Structure 1
Amino acid sequence: MESLDKSRFIRIFDKFNDDLRAYNGSQFVSFTTGVPATWESYKPIIRSIALERLGADKWTTNDIGSGRILAAVIRAIEIKESQDVRNNLVPWEPRHNQPSETGRLRDELGNGPARQRFERHVFDLFRERREPADILDELVDLIGRRYSLIAYLYYVLDDSRFLPIGTTTFDKAFEQLGFDVRTTGRCSWSNYQEFIAAVHCVQAGLTKWVGVKDVRLIDAHSYLWLLVRLPQKIAQMRQQGLQRPGDLKTAMIGLAQGVINRVGNANGQLLERVVKNKELFGFSSTEAFYDFLCRAWEEQDGRCALTGLPMLLPQKRRPVTELVASIDRKDSAGHYSPDNIQLTCWFANRWKGTQADHDFGALIDILRRGEEAQRDYPQHFGAITE
């Protein structure tokens, strides 16, 4: 607690309460209700699923180097049970043509000595064969300073001692509170311990100075995340002309109705029957369709899934522009179903046409990088192949 200024801490908590009221009209009650629960309660669920998928208690030394431990780690990261239960503690879902962490693991550790070393480190970590401090620094030597990936494994191992991390966000939160702790580009055992110690201080401050009851370490972690992300979300809402999260749903209802009308006309069905066609939509009701689109907007952070550009929401008195959001089917031959829908800028949706996402993504990457991208996409530059 020596690193925290009490008056500053309380002032920032009061600002946090103001942000909560600005976001949805209610103030902080607990970490198990309201916005903190809606945004952050998934983390212990993800950890539980990850432990089950790892199955570390069944590993044997014969598994080291076989690829089975690496495959289990990847399964424990790539968790998407539903739109509400998905792992965003590690950037494993490819976005805007950026490589995913699990994709990199597959490429870099597919076979050979590197995979054997990685599996030895993970085996020793979960079977308590060596000190966690030694293993973390050896993982850094092997795969680089991939803080979110390594911290996630430690959080899955023991949530009473370890935490996940998103370095940029937490560095901003620490700066607000006056902590002299920075994590970006500094993945190491000593830095990880500084990070966890700082979160412990915040946990104590919430309990002793603010009077919040039953604050777990992961709750203090969530609080720090919200300190940074909640103002960002409010600013984004204001930019879109939204006053409350419910306004987002109103905009998505408009998008959804457009799709329902098009599909209904194409199939000769009455509109009220369209979403009951499970083969077509895969949603239980129109309400489920609207809610899905709202979640997709939140998950994509209001950015086009194909270009990464910030999208505009369709609203009355706003002229239709090329950056207005639209509902795109990843596979144009497929249905408007939960696993085949993404939100994109209208121009990207139109330009993509019937192309596959990865083909259109390659063209967007070429547009950004120019001739520099020729080596990565020789087929688009007229290279002759056998």
Structure 2
Amino acid sequence: MNCGQVVWEAVTMISASDFQLHFDRFQQLITAESKGHPFIDFAEGKIAAWEGYKPTLRNAALGKLSLDAWSRETIGSGAIVQHAIDSIEIQDNKANLVNNLVFWQNRFGHANRDHRVLLEARTNRGLKEALDTLFYELYLGDRAEGAVFEELAELTGRKYPLIAYLYFLKDMNRFMPIQPTGFDRAFAAMNLEFATRQQCSWENYKAFNEILLQLVPLIEEACQSAFNRDPLSARKRDPLAEMLGG
């Protein structure tokens, strides 16, 4: 049985009632962290504070990626690789914006940086041309996404967070960032027989994104159920109503 089959069977085995048990535990944690404010959606509250920076980060990264400046003629020059590096190394203290989706800072030595190979490509002609080509194909070309993923994974030492981040920049509606250890804990808590740690492959990444898509309607249903049980506490808060005691 391949990874995709395992994931599909595991996800479809999660019923709304089973998921509700996990969601209720999550809701209790969020409500406690938020001083009584329950989770309503991803656009407000504690979750928004934790996760809301990602679209902003992506926009900043796309600006640094500068796809409009790319052309096939620049492949091999290293310009494309440099744009990719710039889109990863984001730390804007004034805007309180830091890319923590990829381990790029040189805190524990160059060898431990997720994008180490990109940095080394600046002085390696063959690697520079190979990465320039793959990045061009990923964002502007017409090669199969899976083939590009596998070649990038091979060249970069299968740094899963790095590859997922690059795909997240391409299309945030289809591709999500990944931190294997954290997600694997969440999947285990839901009794999903699926792991991402040391499993960097196109099939695994496709399955990972499929799981997240499968969970969306379950989350929506659980939120609606919470609202129906207690519409007053679950409704979006109106500051004026709160001032008036509403």
* TM-score grouping bracket, smaller chain normalisation: 0.7 to 0.9
Aligned to 2:43: 32
Q: Is residue 183–residue 191 contact of structure 1 (8 Å, CA) maintained in 2?
A: yes
For 1:174-323, list aligned pairs within 5 A.
Answer: 174-211=187-224
What is the root-mean-square deviation in Å for CA atoms of aligned residues? 2.0
Aligned-pair distance for 1:181? 1.5
Letter in 2 for 1:156: L
Q: In the superposition, relative to structure 1, how do residues 212 and 59 fare at CA in structure 2: closer, same or farther (>3 Å)?
A: farther
Which structure is larger by alpha-carbon Rg, 1 or 2?
A: 1
Q: Report deviation, 1:58.
A: 2.1
Match of 1:302 in 2: none
2:105 is equivalent to residue 89 of structure 1: no
Matches within 5 A, 1:40-189: 40-82=51-93, 84-97=96-109, 99-107=112-120, 110-189=123-202
Gaps in structure 1 of 5+ consecutive residues: 214-386
Q: Which has the higher contact order (CA 8 A, sep 6+)?
A: 2
- Please tell me the residue identity of whatever aligns with 1:74: I
Distance in 1, matches of 2:225 and 2:91, equals: 32
Deviation sequence 1:71-122 (CA, Å, 0-9, x none)? 1001001112236321111111233447322344212553221111111000
Shift of the 212–40 alpha-carbon distance from structure 1 to 2, 3 Å rule, reads farther
* Residue 14 of structure 2: aligned partner: 4
Whether 2:38 is the aligned partner of 1:22: answer no
Query: Deviation digits for residues 204-262 of structure 1, max 9, x if unmatched?
Result: 2112344289xxxxxxxxxxxxxxxxxxxxxxxxxxxxxxxxxxxxxxxxxxxxxxxxx
- Kept in 1: contact 2:150–2:201 (CA 8 A): yes
Q: Which amino acid aligns with 1:101?
A: D
Q: Distance in 2 between matches of 1:120 and 1:59?
A: 11
Distance 2:62 2:78 in 1: 18
Quick check: 2:115–2:156 contact (8 Å CA) kept in 1? Answer: no
- How far apart in 1 are the matches of 2:31 and 2:210? 30
Contact in 1 for aligned 2:61/2:87 (Cα 8 Å)? yes
Counterpart contact for 2:161–2:178, Cα < 8 Å: yes
In structure 2, the partner of 1:275 is: none
Unaligned runs of 5+ in 2: 1-10, 227-246
SS of residue paired to 2:168: helix
Report the secondary structure of 1:211's partner residue.
helix
Query: Structure 1 residue runs of 4+, over 6 Å off?
Result: none
**Percent sequence identity over matched residues?**
32
Matches of 1:101 and 1:22, distance apart in 2: 35
Structure with the bigger percentage of helix: 2
3-state SS of paired residue (1:184): coil
1:342-365 C-alpha deviation (Å, 9 max, x unpaired)? xxxxxxxxxxxxxxxxxxxxxxxx
Describe the superposition over 1:292-335 as per-residue Cα deviations: whole angstroms up to 9, x where unpaired. xxxxxxxxxxxxxxxxxxxxxxxxxxxxxxxxxxxxxxxxxxxx
Provide the C-alpha distance between the structure 2 equivalents of 1:24 and 1:192, rounded to a whole number of angstroms.
Answer: 32
* Maintained 8 Å contact 2:117/2:156: no
CA distance in 1, matches of 2:174, 2:124: 32
Shift of 1:32: 1.3
Give, in angstroms, the shift of residue 62 of structure 1: 1.7
**Residues 117, 155 of structure 2: 8 Å contact kept:** no
Name the SS of the counterpart of 1:90 in structure 2. coil
1:154, distance to aligned residue in structure 2 (A):
0.5
